[in-house]
Amino acid sequence: MADGGATDGKGIGARVLRKEDWRHLAGKAKFTGDFQRPGQKEMAFVRSDVAHARIVSVTKPAGFEDSVFTAADMPGMRPMRAPSKLPGYKGADYPALAIGKVRFVGEPVAVCVADTRAEAEDLAQATVVEYEELPAVVDMLDAKAPDAPRLHEDWDDNLVMETFADDDFSKIADRATVIVKREYRMARHAMNPMEGRAVFAEWDDRTDQLMMWTSTQVPHLIRTGLAEFLGLDQRQVRVIAPDVGGGFGCKALLQPEEVIAGWLTRHLEAPVRWIEDRREHLVTGANCREHHYFVTIHATPEGRILGLDCDVTIDAGAYSVYPFTNGLEGAMAHGNLPGPYDLEVYRCRTQTMTTNKPPLMPYRGVARPGVCYAMEMTIDALAREIGMESHLIRAMNMVKQEQLPFMSIAKKHFDSGNYPKSVEMVVDMIGLDKIRAEQAAAKDDSRLIGVGMGSYVEQTAHGTSVFASWGVAMVPGYEQATVRLTPDGGLELRIGVQSHGQGMETSMAQMAYEVLGIDPEKVMVTHGDTGLTPYSTGTYASRSMVMAGGATARACRVLAERMEIIAAHLLQCERAEVSVRGGKIVSGKGEVSFAEIGRVWYLNPDELPDDVDQGGVEVTMGYRPEPDSGAFTYASHACKVAVDIDTGKVKILDYAIVEDCGTIVNPMIVEGQTYGGATQGIGTALLEESTYDSFGNPGASTFADYMMPGATDAPHYRIDHMESPSPFTEYGIKGMGEGGTIPTPAAIGNAINDALKGIGAEVTETPFTPRRVLAAIAAATQNRQGDAA
C-alpha cells in the first residue's frame, strides 16, 4: 500500500522542531549523573601514572582495605575480549582493572569506593602502587622497529593487523608521468562529548537483575558484554541509557568502568556510581584519529589520476575494545582512501600498531577524516604541481552520475548521486573566482588568504555483509522497531538504537507520521532501554535513521493494514475501500479514528471482526536494506582562511558545504548535525591534540592544555543540499550523522597550503597549530635559500 500519512507537513522533509529540546532547554533532562539512591557509593580510580610497567605491589590505605579493590579482589570479573576473524589479527584482551602490567597512563589499577566522590578520591590518593617501569612504545612508527619494546609478551611484534592490496602499476606507467608523494600525520585526540562517560549500577533483588544506567550509544551491546564478562545470564542484565550528552563513538564500546560498577554493586550490595571528570576523559579518552600516511598519486599531466599508492599506519593503543576491536580503522582506511574517485590501479598497505596509549576507538567519521585528509591534500599538491585548479581535478576524476551504481576500486558499492556536481556547487558558493582576484590584488604580505576544499563519499548504514567482512564479533542484522497503538489512539514507538543528540525522538516520529499521519506529538519514542526495546547493535556508523527509521516505516505499514481491517468492519465496507490517511482510517462511508480502533481492540473486542489479525495493534518488524552494502552520502566542503604568517595563526573566514544524504527527513537536524560535525573537524584541523612525551606521559590533561573548538572558532556555515535518494533504502534515506567531520581537516589544510603556495610551504600534520604553520614556512624559506645558494 502507499503510505497515506503525510498531509500537512510534519513528515519526511519537514523542519519539525525537536520534541526533546524542551527538557534540555528547561534543565529537566535526566542524565546518568542525575541519579541518586539512598546508600549509594561513589567510585574513584587509582590510575596508572606510568605508560608501561609491571605492577610490583598495591598498598591500600590502612583501615580501608575493604574499600579498595584490585583485579585480584574481584573474582569472576573477566578481561574484555573482542575477537576478530580478520586474518592475522591480534587483539589484546582489555582487563577492566590491570592484571600484572599497566600499558598506558590512566589505565585503571584499583577502584576505591566511599560515600562521596571526594572521599573516594582521598582513598585513591592514599593507595600506593609500586611499579617496575618498562620502556614505553609511544610512537606508532617506532613501534615497528624490530627491537622495539613489546607491549604484549606473547606477541612477536607490536603489529595488531596488516592489510595489503596490490595492483599492477606498470599498466599506467607510460601515461602517469606525474608522481606526487606526500607524508601526513593526523594527531591523536579525545572525543570530548559534553557529558563524559557515566555509570550508575544497582542490583535489583526483586528481578534478580543488574540494573545499569549508563551514558552509552549501544545499551544492548553493553548488556551482552556485561553478561559475558561478569558471568551473568543476559536476562540478569538490564541496561538503560537515559539522556546522553553526546557520544561520538567512545560510548559505542563497553567501558572498563561499566564492568567494574556491575561487579561492585552486586558484591557491595549497594548502588554505585561513577561520573567521569574531564581530566579522566582527556587522559583515558585520548583515543582517536591517530594515523600516519604515505600517499603517492600517479597522474597524467592533464590531471587524470590513474593510480593511488598508500602506506597507512594506525596507532591502536594498548588493547582491543569490545565489541568492535581495534582493527576497524585499518579496514576503513583501506576501503575509503580512493574516495569518490575512479582509479585504474590501487595499492594500499595498512599496519595497525599497538602502543602504550589508550585503546583506539572509532570517533565520528571513523578513519575517514584521516583518509580524506591524506587523499584530498595530495590532490591539491598535484594541482599545484601541474598548475591546475584542484576542483577541476576532482570533478574530472570523480565517478560520474551515469556510472552509478558503481563498484569502486576499493570494492565500495556507490549507490546514487552526482559527485562532481557537489564540487561545482561548492566552488560557486565559496566564490573561488572572487577569492583568486582578492589574492592577486593583496597588498598585505603578512596576512595571506587561501581557499581549499575537500570531498568525500561516505558509506553509511552499512549492514551485515560489511561488518561480517571486517571480522567483528557483533554484526548488525535486521534492525527492528515496535509500534503499539495505545487505547486512546496514540502511538508508542520502540527502537533499539539510542539517541544522544541526534533528535531521533523527533525524526522517528516524523517517520511514523509519514506512514500513518499521526501527529509527531502523539508519538512516544522509547529508545536506549534493553528492557523496553528490540535488540539492536545500537547507534553508530550513521545507521539509525536508515535502519531504525526503515524498520519504523515497515512496522507502521503493518499496523496500518491491521487497523484497516478493523475499520472496514466498523464501517461495514470492504477492506479495499478503506485506507489510512491523515491520522484516520477513511472510506467513502465515513471514517474511523485511531482512538476508536484502540478502544475496540483493547476494551471492546466484541466489536472486532472475525478476520482481525490476532497480533493486534502492536507490531514488531525488522528491516535491512538490500543490498546492505550501505547508502553512500557525499559532500564537498570549501573554506576560505587567512594565515597570519607572523604568528602562524589561521582564521576561517568563510565555510561552505554542499551535501547529499539522499532523502532528508528533517533538514534542521541534518544541518545541525553537519555543523556540529564540521566544528569537530575544525578541532581536528586546528586545535585538538593529545600530546605525549617520550615516556608516554600525556601532556594535555585539562582544557588549559587541550584546545576544544567553541563558538568563537565556528564560522557561520553556509549549506546547500542535494537530494539523491538511495535506491536501496526506505524512502531513499542515507545516513549523515558523521559526515560533517570528514572533509574539514582536508578543506582547512588545503586552504592553508593555498595561502602559503607563494612561499612554497605546506602543512602536513594536524592540528595545524601556529607552531607547525611557522615551522612549515621556515622550512620552505630555508629550502629556497638552499636552492639559491
Partner 1 sequence: MKSAKFDHQRMVTLEEAVAALGSADGEARIMGGGQSLGPMMNLRLAQPDLLIDLSRVGGLDGIEVAGDTIRIGARVTHARIEDGAVPGVTGAYMQFVASGISYRSVRNRGTIGGSVAHADPSADWPSALLALGGDVVIAGQDGERRMPLDGFQIGPFATGLGFEEILTGFELPTLGEGAKCGYYKVNRKPGEFADAIGAVVIGSAPRVVCGATEAAPFRVVAAEERLAAGAAEISVADARDMIAAQDPGFDDYDLQIHAVALSRAVGRAFA
Q: Where are the alpha helices (DSSP H) in 141-277?
A: 219-230, 256-268
Least Å distance between CB 209 and partner 1? 31
Q: Which part of the chain contacts partner 1 (CB under 8 A), choosing from 119-127, 295-303, 539-547, 606-614?
A: 119-127
Least Å distance between CB 257 and partner 1? 16
177: contact with partner 1 by CB under 8 A:
no
How many of the chain's residues bind partner 1 (CB under 8 A)? 25
Taking the C-alpha atoms of residue 725 and residue 665, their distance in angstroms, rounded to an integer, is: 11
Taking the C-alpha atoms of residue 63 and residue 43, their distance in angstroms, rounded to an integer, is: 18
779: contact with partner 1 by CB under 8 A:
no
Least Å distance between CB 457 and partner 1? 32
Q: Hey, how many other C-beta atoms are within 10 angstroms of the C-beta on 133?
A: 12
Helix, strand, coil content of the chain in percent (nearest 5): 30, 25, 45
Q: Hey, how many other C-beta atoms are within 10 angstroms of the C-beta on 308?
A: 26
- Phi, psi dihedrals of residue 220, rounded to the nearest 5°: -70, -40
Beta-bridged to residue 200, according to DSSP, are 213, 273
Residue nearer to partner 1 on the CB measure, 29 or 707: 707
Q: Which three cell numbers stand for residue 590?
A: 465515513
Least Å distance between CB 770 and partner 1? 7
Residues in region 653-672 near partner 1 by CB under 8 A = none
Per-residue x/- marks for partner 1, 269-298, CB under 8 A? --------x-x-------------------
Q: Which residues contact 733 (CB under 8 A, 6 or more apart)?
A: 545, 546, 549, 550, 631, 661, 662, 663, 665, 725, 726
Is residue 767 reached through a cis peptide bond, with omega within 30 degrees of 0 on the bond before it? yes
Compute the chain's Rg from CA coordinates: 28
Q: Which part of the chain contacts partner 1 (CB under 8 A), choosing from 153-161, 435-443, 525-533, 644-652?
A: 644-652
Least Å distance between CB 342 and partner 1? 40
Residue nearer to partner 1 on the CB measure, 674 or 769: 769
Q: Which three cell numbers stand for residue 8?
A: 500537512
User: Using CB under 8 A, which of 771, 779, 782, 784 touches partner 1?
Assistant: 771
Least Å distance between CB 774 and partner 1? 6
Q: Which part of the chain contacts partner 1 (CB under 8 A), choosing from 411-419, 458-466, 614-622, 770-778?
A: 770-778
Residues in region 684-713 near partner 1 by CB under 8 A = 687, 702, 704, 707, 710, 712-713
Q: Residue 771: how many CA atoms within 13 Å on its side-chain side?
A: 4
Cα-Cα-Cα-Cα dihedral of 274, 278, 283, 289, to 10°?
A: 110
Least Å distance between CB 25 and partner 1? 19
Least Å distance between CB 277 and partner 1? 5
128: contact with partner 1 by CB under 8 A:
no
118: contact with partner 1 by CB under 8 A:
yes
Expressed in angstroms, the distance from the first to the final Cα of the chain is 79
User: Using CB under 8 A, which of 604, 647, 781, 783 touches partner 1?
Assistant: 647
Residue nearer to partner 1 on the CB measure, 295 or 776: 776
Contact 165, 743 (CB under 8 A): no
Residues in region 325-364 near partner 1 by CB under 8 A = none
Q: Which residues contact 392 (CB under 8 A, 6 or more apart)?
A: 303
Least Å distance between CB 681 and partner 1? 16
Residue nearer to partner 1 on the CB measure, 701 or 741: 701
Q: Which part of the chain contacts partner 1 (CB under 8 A), choosing from 145-153, 537-545, 645-653, 662-670?
A: 645-653
774: contact with partner 1 by CB under 8 A:
yes
Taking the C-alpha atoms of residue 28 and residue 227, their distance in angstroms, rounded to an integer, is: 32
User: Using CB under 8 A, which of 116, 177, 694, 783 touches partner 1?
Assistant: 116
Taking the C-alpha atoms of residue 752 and residue 719, their distance in angstroms, rounded to an integer, is: 21
Q: Which part of the chain contacts partner 1 (CB under 8 A), choosing from 120-128, 392-400, 417-425, 555-563?
A: 120-128
Taking the C-alpha atoms of residue 746 and residue 763, their distance in angstroms, rounded to an integer, is: 11
Q: Which part of the chain contacts partner 1 (CB under 8 A), choosing from 100-108, 118-126, 241-249, 541-549?
A: 118-126
Q: Go through the chain and tell me how many residues it has.
A: 789
117: contact with partner 1 by CB under 8 A:
yes
Residue nearer to partner 1 on the CB measure, 476 or 648: 648
Q: Is 528 left (phi over 0), alpha (psi -120 to 50) or beta?
A: left
Q: Which three cell numbers stand for residue 474?
A: 557483533
Q: Which part of the chain contacts partner 1 (CB under 8 A), choosing from 141-149, 214-222, 231-239, 646-654?
A: 646-654
Least Å distance between CB 515 and partner 1? 46
Beta-bridged to residue 448, according to DSSP, are 643
447: contact with partner 1 by CB under 8 A:
no
Contact 706, 283 (CB under 8 A): no
Q: Which part of the chain contacts partner 1 (CB under 8 A), choosing from 203-211, 218-226, 452-460, 763-771?
A: 763-771
492: contact with partner 1 by CB under 8 A:
no
Q: Which three cell numbers stand for residue 521?
A: 506529538
Q: How many helices (H) and strands (E) does the chain have?
A: 17, 30
Beta strands in 143-264 (DSSP E): 159-165, 178-186, 189-190, 198-204, 209-214, 237-240
User: Using CB under 8 A, which of 300, 612, 770, 780 touches partner 1?
Assistant: 770
Residue nearer to partner 1 on the CB measure, 126 or 148: 126
Q: Which helix (H) or strand (E) holds 158?
A: none
Taking the C-alpha atoms of residue 764 and residue 374, their distance in angstroms, rounded to an integer, is: 9
125: contact with partner 1 by CB under 8 A:
yes
783: contact with partner 1 by CB under 8 A:
no
Residue nearer to partner 1 on the CB measure, 576 or 711: 711
DSSP string, 604-658: -GGGS-TT--TTTTEEEEEE--SS-S-EEEEEEEEEEEEEETTT--EEEEEEEEE
778: contact with partner 1 by CB under 8 A:
yes
Residues that bind partner 1 (CB under 8 A): 116-118, 121-122, 125, 277, 279, 646-649, 687, 702, 704, 707, 710, 712-713, 769-771, 774-775, 778
